[in-house]
A and B are shown apart, each in its own frame.
Chain A
Amino acid sequence: MTETPKEKAHPAFDDQLLPCPTRRDVLTTGSIALGGAGACTLAVPFFDSLRQSEASSTLQDQTTIDVPLQDLSPGEHKIVVWQGLPVAIQRRTTGMLHALESPALLTLLADPQSRTRQQPRDAENLYRSIRPEYGVFITICTHLGCVPNYQNNPTIPASGGFFCPCHGSQFDGAGRVLRNMPAPYNLPVPPMHFIDDRTIRLGESLTSPDFSINSLQQL
C-alpha cells in the first residue's frame, strides 16, 4: 500500500469565510425559507384536525327542554340539565319573595337592578324571573365556573340562596351576587317561558327571541 498524498483541506473547512454573502448563502437562505413555508403548510391539516367537528357538537341537538313543575312544593328546588348546563329551578315561598324585595338585602348586592345582561328582558326584575314564584338559574358561578350549592346564608334575609364551594361567592335567592365576592356578575338566567301553569320550556324566550347562552355577559 502506498501512502496517499495529503490533499489540501476543502475550503469549506476554513474558518475564514468570504466577507460578503455568497451564492451558497443565497441558496441556503432560499432553501430554508421554502422549507419553512412547506412546514407551515404541512401544519395546516394538523391544526385543522383540532377544530370542533360536527361530530362532537351534539350539545346543539336539544336546544329546548320542557320541565314539569308540579312536583315542586313551595320552598323546594330541583336541578335539571339543559344543553349540558345545570339549571336550578326553585319554587319560592312568600317569605322568600319578601326577603328578595327587602332594602336590607338590596344594599348588600353588587348588581341589585340586574343591569348586566345576565338574563333575558322578561327576567330583569326584582325576582329575576318571569313569574316571581319560580326562580330559574344556570348554576355556574360567574367567577371560575364551579357549580354553587343551594344554601341560605344566615346573615342575610332568607331569600333562598347559593354558595359557591370553590371560592366562597355568595348569591341571594334571585342569583344576585353579594358585594365584594370573587364572582363579578349575577348567576345567568336561561331564556325560557311558561307553556302552561305547570310546565316551563327552557331555551326559548318569548320577549327576546334571540336571547341564547351566547348573549350572556358571563357564563
Chain B
Amino acid sequence: MKPHDQLPSPHHWLDERLPFLKPLCRHIVRFPVPPVNLLWTLGACLIVGFALMLTSGVFLSLHYDSHIEQAFASIEAIDRRIPSGWLLRSFHTGGVSLLFAALYIHLARGLWYGSYKAPRELVWLSGLTLMLLFMVTAFAGYVLPWGQMSYWGATVITHAIEAIPGIGRPLITYLLGENTLGAVALHRFFILHFALGFIIAAIIGLHILFLHGTGSSNPTLDSPHPVHKTRPFIPFYAFKDGLAVCGFLALLTGVIFFFPALLTKISNTIPADPLKTPADITPEWYLAPYFAILRAIPSRLGGLILALGSVAILFILPWLDRSPRHNATYRPFLRIGLVIFFAAFLTLTIAGLQRVTPLWLWLSRGSLAVWFFVFLVLIPLTAYQERHISSQKREMS
C-alpha cells in the first residue's frame, strides 16, 4: 500500500512536465487543519452548493430565452415541458437560498472567531468580494424570468443607483443600454448572470488559495495557529466536510421536494407588466436587509450610501479590530456586540420582508444604528482596551 500522497507511476509522466503537481497534491492531502468545530464545514458546503448552481445554471441556460417576448414563456416551458426541467430549476432557485444561508453563517463564524484578523485579511476580503458578487449574480438571475417581481425588483434597484448624484442617470442608461428596463437590459442581465458564475468560480479558487497560504483559523483560545494540534485534511477533515455536505444536500432536497412554495413568489408567476406594480413587492430574503436599509432612510442617496456602507465597513474590519485576541467567546464586549449585531441583521432581514409600517421603519433604523455602532465604535474601543491589557500583562511578566 502506497502512502496517500505518492502519485502512482503513470503520473510520473505528468510529474516531470508539471513539477508543481506533486507539492500541490501534498498540500491539499496533508493540509494541516487545526481542531475546528462544525461551523468550519460550511466552506465545503458552499463549494458544493455553488458547483450545483453552476451546473444547473449552464443546463438551464440551454433552455432559457432572453428575448423579452419569450423569457417568461421559456421559464414556464422549463418548469412544465422540458424533461426534468422543473428539478433543475428547483435546484437553482432553492440552491440560492441555501447558499446565502450558508454564506451568512460562514461570514458570522468568521466574525465570531476572528477569521478576518491578520494574517487572514486576504481570505476575508476575497470572501466579502464573493458575497457582493453573489448578491449581484442573485439579483441579475432574479430578473431573468421576467415576472412581476423580476421587473419591479430590477426597477427599484436601477432607480436606487440612479440616485448617485451626477453620474447616476447616465450610468444606468449606459448599463441598461436604453432609457427604460427593456429588451436590451434583459439580455444584458442574462449575460451578466451567466458570466458572473464563472468569475465567482475563479474568485472561489483565489479564496481557497489565500486560505491555504495561512491555514484555517480555529475556535480555540490560542488563536491564530496552534500548529502542533493539527491533523491532515485527508482523511480527517475531508470526511467531516463530506458529512456536512450530505446534510446540506439533504436540507436542499428537503426544501425542494417538501416546501416548493418557499422558493417562488406568487407575483413572479405573472408576466412583467410595466404598468402595474404588485402590491406585495418584497425582495428575496437574502437581499432583504439591504432593501430594509434603502427603505428606512428618507433620502434616496442616503439610503444607497448607508446600504453600501454597511457592507463597506466589513471590508475595513481587519483594521478596525486590532486586538491581539481573536475569539469573541473570550472577548466579553465583542461577544455582546456581535450578538446584538446578529439580532440587528435578523431584524433588518425580517423588516425588509414586511410591509412598511412605522414600527418596522423604526426597528430598521435602530438596527442600522446598531450595525454601524458595533463596527465603528464598539469594536475599535474594545480592541484598544484589549491591546492595553495585553501590553500591561507583557510588562508584568
Q: Given A19-B1, A31-B239, A49-B59 in contact, is the A13-B30 Cβ separation under 8 Å?
A: yes
Contact partner of A12 (CB less than 8 A), chosen from B55, B88, B236, is: B236
The answer on a CB contact under 8 Å between A49 and B1 is: no
Contact partner of A51 (CB less than 8 A), chosen from B2, B4, B83, B87, is: B83
Q: Which residues of the partner chain A approach B30 to less than 8 Å between Cβ atoms?
A: 13
How many residues from A make CB contacts under 8 Å with B? Answer: 29
The answer on a CB contact under 8 Å between B82 and A53 is: yes
Most B C-beta atoms less than 10 A away, residue of A13, A17, A53: A53
The answer on a CB contact under 8 Å between B228 and A48 is: no
Binds B, one of A2-10, A103-111, A206-214: A2-10
Closest to A15 in B: B3
Complex CA–CA separation, A45 to B63 (angstroms):
14
The answer to whether B179 has its CB under 8 Å from any CB of chain A is no
The answer on a CB contact under 8 Å between A54 and B81 is: yes
Interface membership of chain A positions 27-65, coded 1 if the CB is closer than 8 angstroms to chain B and 0 otherwise: 110010001000000001110111101110000000000
The answer on a CB contact under 8 Å between B3 and A46 is: no
Complex CA–CA separation, A54 to B80 (angstroms):
11
Minimum Cβ distance to chain A for residue B176 (Å): 31
Q: Given A10-B232, A31-B242, A55-B81 in contact, is the A46-B1 Cβ separation under 8 Å?
A: no
The answer on a CB contact under 8 Å between A35 and B242 is: yes
| B: interface residue count bin | 20 to 34
Complex CA–CA separation, A176 to B231 (angstroms):
76
Minimum Cβ distance to chain A for residue B252 (Å): 11
Q: Which of A41-97 contact B (CB under 8 A)?
A: 44-46, 48-51, 53-55
Minimum Cβ distance to chain A for residue B7 (Å): 14
The answer to whether B235 has its CB under 8 Å from any CB of chain A is yes
Q: Given A17-B1, A35-B242 in contact, is the A53-B81 Cβ separation under 8 Å?
A: yes
The answer to whether B77 has its CB under 8 Å from any CB of chain A is yes
Q: Which residues of the partner chain A approach B88 to less than 8 Å between Cβ atoms?
A: 45-46, 49
Interface membership of chain B positions 56-90, coded 1 if the CB is closer than 8 angstroms to chain A and 0 otherwise: 10010011000000000000010001111101100
Residues of B within 8 A of A (CB): 1-4, 30, 55-56, 59, 62-63, 77, 81-85, 87-88, 228-229, 231-232, 235-236, 239, 242, 397
**What would be 19 A-B contacts, judged by CB atoms less than 8 Å apart?**
A1-B397, A7-B229, A10-B231, A12-B231, A12-B236, A13-B232, A15-B3, A17-B3, A20-B1, A27-B235, A27-B239, A44-B84, A46-B55, A46-B56, A49-B63, A49-B82, A49-B85, A50-B59, A51-B83
